[in-house]
Chains A and B, each alone.
Chain A
């Protein structure tokens, strides 16, 4: 406790020094490079998202004009939720077989945490955009206010990434168990999911930033992101040491 707490409080600025940012960038780049080197994990995430979109479309076999925007919206966020959990569950895959001990000696846990959050944001944004494009292609797109929908979409992905990074860290310590990851993250993401569905429904109806209801939802999601990131900031060093 004493080591970490003193590090948090007195050395807060050290996380943002030039050297620290370089280290963060190196850790981030390591994950991206490993993903492109070992193409199976990246392509499996992409294929999973395309398949799940197609399965959902084929179950309804209709366009947006027949299912209506409510179903379109709910289905889109359910798909995004499952794709995100599947993609983020792989975030500590490269640290299996003792690589985590090696990283523990090389770097500080907080840098690993932030590099993983950045990596997950990149991965989930990429898969999310591909999924949205394919989903719009097969089902149609009823969004009335694209700017507001984009705001909700990006905020949602960032929130998913920040929560799922921590949960996949916990699942990693429990032996990288995918079932455990799913049962922990599905209920954890549900309040967020409800806010996102409500917010993007407003954006689909063309109601956006000029209304109090929409701004409140954006603020609530931002507050959830802040809470989760600050909790991860405090808790991850203990988790990484376990």
Chain B
């Protein structure tokens, strides 16, 4: 599996280069700019995972194959893990640059609400017992919340004033980085963290498949 090897290489490169690479000096941000290689890719990975989850939900409604429902659930689950990691790294960064672990920023609040939306997705799944009904209803919910989630973290911070770079009239990071130094690490980091998330998801999907096989075997045993 070449992409698994690539994941390991990219992540080792990200961690080593991210921590020891020369970086442009900016007041206040200082060395904390290295968090760019850990905080921002989390959100990229989470968004791509959520897109994969939504696509699998659409595929379930189109093809009625329970496998797509399992995929959608697992991808959403991994996306939530990345979201929590993004919140933690972001909080640490905010403590250093903005002076508090949690600020009244539309992007932060939007993310928190987005997390609640997807936690409700799991509550909804647990409250339905029958497999095909649960798959259909939760697929409908997953597709319904996806545009709302996008508007929460990508549209609203641009309408309301946000502290984040590139939002609410703030400049993005690009203008401080004349040497394009950061990009040499940033793009591999994005790809590496996404591949890690995809890898975790495929493992979880396999685990779920084995679990289902065990349950089927037990049912057969009981019937015999």
Q: Which residues of A contact B (CB under 8 A)?
A: 1, 166-167, 170, 173-175, 177, 180, 183-184, 186-188, 190-191, 194-195, 198, 216, 220, 224, 227-228, 231-232, 235, 238-239, 241-242
B116 to chain A, nearest CB (A): 4
Query: Which of chain A's residues have a CB closer than 8 A to the CB of B152?
Result: 190-191
Query: Which of chain B's residues have a CB closer than 8 A to the CB of A184?
Result: 117, 120, 124, 141
Query: Which of chain A's residues have a CB closer than 8 A to the CB of B104?
Result: none
What separation, in Å, do the CA atoms of A74 and B116 have in the docked complex? 21
What separation, in Å, do the CA atoms of A229 and B147 have in the docked complex? 12
30 contacts between A and B (CB under 8 A): A1-B62, A170-B137, A170-B140, A170-B141, A170-B144, A173-B128, A173-B133, A173-B137, A177-B127, A184-B124, A186-B116, A187-B113, A187-B117, A187-B120, A188-B117, A190-B113, A190-B152, A191-B110, A191-B113, A191-B156, A194-B106, A220-B155, A220-B159, A224-B151, A231-B147, A235-B143, A239-B137, A242-B132, A242-B137, A242-B140
Query: Which of chain A's residues have a CB closer than 8 A to the CB of B116?
Result: 183, 186-187
Whether A242 and B147, one on each chain, are in contact in the complex, defined by CB atoms closer than 8 angstroms, is no
What separation, in Å, do the CA atoms of A220 and B116 have in the docked complex? 23
Q: A170-B137, A170-B144, A238-B61 are in contact. List 9 more A-B contacts (CB 8 A).
A: A175-B127, A180-B120, A183-B120, A184-B141, A188-B145, A191-B148, A194-B106, A194-B156, A239-B140
Task: Tell me whether chain B's interface is mostly helix, strand or loop, or mixed.
Answer: helix
B108 to chain A, nearest CB (A): 13
CB closest chain-B residue, reference A4: B61
- A191-B156, A227-B147 as given contacts; A180 in contact with B113, CB under 8 Å: no
B149 to chain A, nearest CB (A): 9
Whether B140 and A174, one on each chain, are in contact in the complex, defined by CB atoms closer than 8 angstroms, is no
- A188-B148, A220-B159, A224-B151 as given contacts; A241 in contact with B120, CB under 8 Å: no
Whether A1 and B63, one on each chain, are in contact in the complex, defined by CB atoms closer than 8 angstroms, is yes
Whether A242 and B133, one on each chain, are in contact in the complex, defined by CB atoms closer than 8 angstroms, is yes
Query: Which of chain B's residues have a CB closer than 8 A to the CB of A175?
Result: 127
Task: Tell me whether chain A's interface is mostly helix, strand or loop, or mixed.
Answer: helix
Query: Which of chain B's residues have a CB closer than 8 A to the CB of A190?
Result: 113, 152
The listed residue with most B CB atoms (<10 A of its CB), out of A191, A194, A235, is: A191
Query: Which of chain B's residues have a CB closer than 8 A to the CB of A174?
Result: 124, 127-128, 137
B63 to chain A, nearest CB (A): 7
- 1/0 per position for B152-173, CB-CB distance to A under 8 A? 1001100110000000000000
- Which 4 interchain pairs have the tightest Cβ spacing? A242-B136, A187-B116, A187-B117, A235-B140
Query: Which of chain B's residues have a CB closer than 8 A to the CB of A216?
Result: 159
Query: Which of chain B's residues have a CB closer than 8 A to the CB of A173?
Result: 128, 133, 137
Query: Which of chain B's residues have a CB closer than 8 A to the CB of A187?
Result: 113-114, 116-117, 120
What separation, in Å, do the CA atoms of A232 and B148 have in the docked complex? 13
What separation, in Å, do the CA atoms of A170 and B123 have in the docked complex? 12
Whether A235 and B144, one on each chain, are in contact in the complex, defined by CB atoms closer than 8 angstroms, is yes
